[in-house]
Amino acid sequence: MSLSRTIETPNIDDALAVARPPRKHVLDLDDFSREEISEVLESARSMKEVLGRDIKKVPALRGRVIVTLFYEASTRTRISFEEAGKVLSADVINMSASGSSAEKGESLLNTGLTIQAMGVDTIVIRHPHSGAPYLLAQHLNKVSIINAGDGLHAHPTQALLDLYTVQDKLGVGGQGSDSQGADSRGSDSRGSDSMEGLKVVIVGDVLHSRVARSNIWGFAKMGAKVVLSGPNTLMPPDLLRSKGNIARSQIASMVEVDTNLDRAIEGADVVMALRLQQERQNAGFLPSLREYIRRWQVTDDRLAKAKPKAMVMHPGPMNEGIEISNSIAHGGSSVIEEQVTNGVAVRMALLYKLTIGAPE
């Protein structure tokens, strides 16, 4: 009876957090503990200070090489990573599938091995197939992999920048730590990094949204309640059914579905509209676009039911007039531009974290 399992681990995340070696990859938020998320967000705050300088450049990652490997179209994510790397003085090489040897049929793995052989330190990958970054992480032992969006699965850096934006707007998190000092912590910063009690409503095509999936993990781990709303056909059965990975995790109780947006949005602190991927319309997921707009568009009327200071987020690119009304998209409660700005800071924090203290 020699059982290998000797440690009771009621909470897998806490157990992982204790003896975790320095992080090598960022593949999704499901293996981040609340502490690690907080650490990234705090570090992003320092990065934002750098972005506010006259000379936006620090030498931290001098001599490091980052490749952005994008098999899917992207403007903000790719540019955001490129800027993040360059502000930290890394050399950033952009590669997209079109125009590369992927067009000649080279496999993802061989492309990855080729890039690794060139002495690259970090690969930022976006790929239409869920799991592609994991394949690289498994087989490339000398580079760090950052998932910039894989299929329907995950988009962890987007979720982190969303978390950062919410913290920043609500004034939670370790702000003003200069005047308060690391030593005097504890009194008023109790739960400063948590989002306990917040209600986050994610609206729209959750089923096909990797942004939503990573955000569910992120917000729930930070203690927020996540309500998913949208047409039944676009709700994610795999996430909520008893066999889904969220249903089995300790965040299951933090996540619920309410297809009635007017009800779901009541008392919300954060309303996140997802892009309605138009190609889904013809695939039988929606009765009609008009009905979608009528029932699930984030509008002024609906937002009035949320908390007075509720913020509206959107990962972009937006279909204005479909999942979000024009007046909301550019209105006072929108933090959509802040999300973009914060994205650079958060990605800087991740690039820095993966490089510093990494094994040679």
90 or 306, CB closer to another protein?
A: 90
Give the Å distances, CA to CA, from 338 to 71, 101, 146, 156, 157.
26, 36, 22, 17, 15
CB of 28 to another protein, least distance (A): 20
What does the binding site for another protein look like in residue numbers (CB under 8 A)?
Answer: 22, 39, 42-43, 45-47, 49-50, 53-55, 57-61, 88, 177-178, 181-183, 352-353, 355-358, 360
Closest separation between CB of residue 44 and another protein, Å? 10
Angle 144-146-151 from CA coordinates, rounded to 5°: 135
Beta carbon of residue 62, minimum distance to another protein (angstroms, whole number): 9
Peptide bond into 317 cis (omega under 30): yes
Based on CB atoms, which residue is closest to another protein, 185 or 330? 185
- Of the two residues 8 and 49, which places its CB atom closer to another protein in the complex? 49
Min CB(144)–another protein separation in Å: 13
3 state SS of 313: strand
Decide whether 20 or 330 has the Cβ nearer to another protein. 20
Distances (CA, A) of 119 to 72, 94, 115, 249, 253: 24, 15, 7, 38, 44
Q: Please say which residue, 36 or 205, places its beta carbon nearer to another protein.
A: 36
Strand 65-70 to strand 122-127: parallel, antiparallel, or no bridges (unpaired)? parallel
- What tokens appear for 307 in the block? 């908390």
Q: Specify the residue, 12 or 356, whose C-beta has the smaller distance to another protein.
A: 356
Cβ proximity to another protein, 8 vs 54, nearer residue? 54
> Considering the complex, what minimum distance in angstroms separates the CB of residue 163 from another protein?
18
Least Cβ distance, residue 49 to another protein (angstroms): 6
Smaller CB distance to another protein: residue 39 or 72? 39
Nearer to another protein, 1 or 55 (CB): 55
* Overall size of the chain counted in residues: 360
| CB 26, min distance to another protein, A | 14
Q: Which residue lies nearer to another protein by CB, 10 or 21?
A: 21
**CA–CA distance, 141 with 206 (Å, rounded to integer):** 33
Burial of 63 (0-12, 13-18, 19+ CB in 10 A): exposed
| Distance separating the N- and C-terminal Cα atoms of the chain | 41
Question: CA 30, 153, 86, 50: dihedral to nearest 10 degrees?
Answer: -50
Is the distance from CB of 156 to CB of 342 less than 8 angstroms?
Answer: no
Measured from the CB of residue 120, what is the shortest distance to another protein in angstroms? 16
Q: Which helix (H) or strand (E) holds 56?
A: none
Residues 53, 224: Cα–Cα separation, whole Å: 33
CA distances from 277 to 56, 71, 146, 165 (A): 36, 18, 24, 24
Shortest distance (Å) from residue 355 CB to another protein: 7
Query: In whole angstroms, how close is the CB of 306 to another protein at the nearest point?
Result: 32
Task: Say if strands 199-203 and 270-273 run parallel, antiparallel, or are unpaired.
Answer: parallel
